[in-house]
Structure 1
Amino acid sequence: MSNDVKLNKNKIQKLRAIKCWSQDELASASGLSVRTIQRVEKNGTASLETTKALAAVFDLTPNELQTSNKIENITFSFMCKYAWLVAFALSSIFFGLWIIDILVPTLKGADFNQQYEIHGNFRYLDFGGISFFVGFLFLSFNVSLEYFSRKSLVKHSASINN
């Protein structure tokens, strides 16, 4: 049985960068070797003692440095991060279909209403507009979430430095 703890290597690198520390300086502050810091930042694995030392330096609990093993959390995060892209892709498809199925035949002389009837009165523009709006909401949510998470990380780091 391994005693290694899986750490969030990106979080450790960000916390170190916020303090403007090199790996050498983090090693000195934590009482660990530079090689240990390099291994943790590369592999994200550390012993329990190393985890405690890093947590103490950053004024965190060891649990806050660990990665989440829950696949649901990763999936939800992935969906939140890229849902806007899917919505924008759908809106592009709907707008493209509207141009191909409705606009082009109408410009060639077909009856506009008849074109909609041929396609079962499916309103491409309505669905395209809705999916574009939903994509914009998802993108706004994603940008806001990223902004506030960075802001809280900087705020937490500033409180550590004081």
Structure 2
Amino acid sequence: MIVKKLRNKNDWSQEQLAEYSGLNVRTIQRVESGQKASIETLKCLASVFEVNISKLTEEITVIDKETEKWKKLPWWFKANMFGVNSRRHVQIIEFTLLTIAFGSWFLRPEIITTPTCFLAAYLTGWIIRFGDKNDAW
């Protein structure tokens, strides 16, 4: 997460960041693990790191699997999100699939690998759009 990257860049421990920001160490741990952060927490962190709140929120878009909206989503969507904590993870999967598909297409076109990777990337993109439409993250 971006908070951990910024903390490491400043060579601070979680305890130091908590002290500088006036937050609890547990709050720092939750934010770094990708859990939702309140606007007050984001303001404190943005102030300490001297960045805009938008810089912190661009990567803190996580799936809250405890909400009613999440529970109402179809089983196939939830099954595809097993082990996935954020929209960004799904985007990385889509990009990786596209990279493999184009690589196999140009380097060694195969009848199975190339179309399978393109299809998987397309379906992953469709899942991202479905999650956006249904406020999954």
Report the TM-score, using the length of structure 1 for normalisation: 0.43
Which one has a bigger Cα radius of gyration?
1
Equivalent residue number for residue 88 of structure 1: 103
- Aligned residues: CA RMSD: 2.7
1:32, distance to aligned residue in structure 2 (A): 0.6
Aligned partners of 1:44, 1:93: CA distance in 2, in Å? 41
Report the Cα offset of residue 80 of structure 1: 4.8
Q: Which amino acid aligns with 1:36?
A: T
CA offsets, 1:50-106, max 9 Å, x none? 11000011111111110366xxx9687665555332122223235x9xxxxxxxxxx
1:1-162 to structure 2, matched below 5 A, reads: 10-67=1-58, 80-90=95-105, 91-93=107-109
Structure 1 vs Structure 2: percent identity of aligned residues? 35
Bigger RCO of structures 1 and 2 (CA < 8 A, at least 6 apart)? 1
Deviations 1:116-141 (A, max 9, x none): xxxxxxxxxxxxxxxxxxxxxxxxxx
Moved more, 78-87 or 25-34: 78-87
Instruction: Measure, in 2, the Cα distance between the counterparts of 1:20 and 1:48.
Output: 25
Partner Cα separation in structure 1 for residue 2 and residue 44 of structure 2: 15
Provide the secondary structure at the position in 2 that maps to 1:93.
Answer: coil
TM-score, scaled relative to structure 2 = 0.50
Could you tell me how far apart the structure 2 residues matched to 1:84 and 1:43 are?
Answer: 26
AA aligned opposite 2:104: A
Q: Secondary structure at the match of 1:44?
A: coil
Q: 2 CA distance for matches of 1:19 and 1:53?
A: 16
Unaligned residue ranges in structure 2 (runs of 5+): 62-86, 112-137
Deviation at 1:43, TM superposition (A): 3.5
Runs of 4+ aligned structure 1 residues displaced above 4 Å come to: 73-82
Gaps of 5+ in 1: 1-9, 97-162
Higher helix proportion (structure 1 or 2): 1
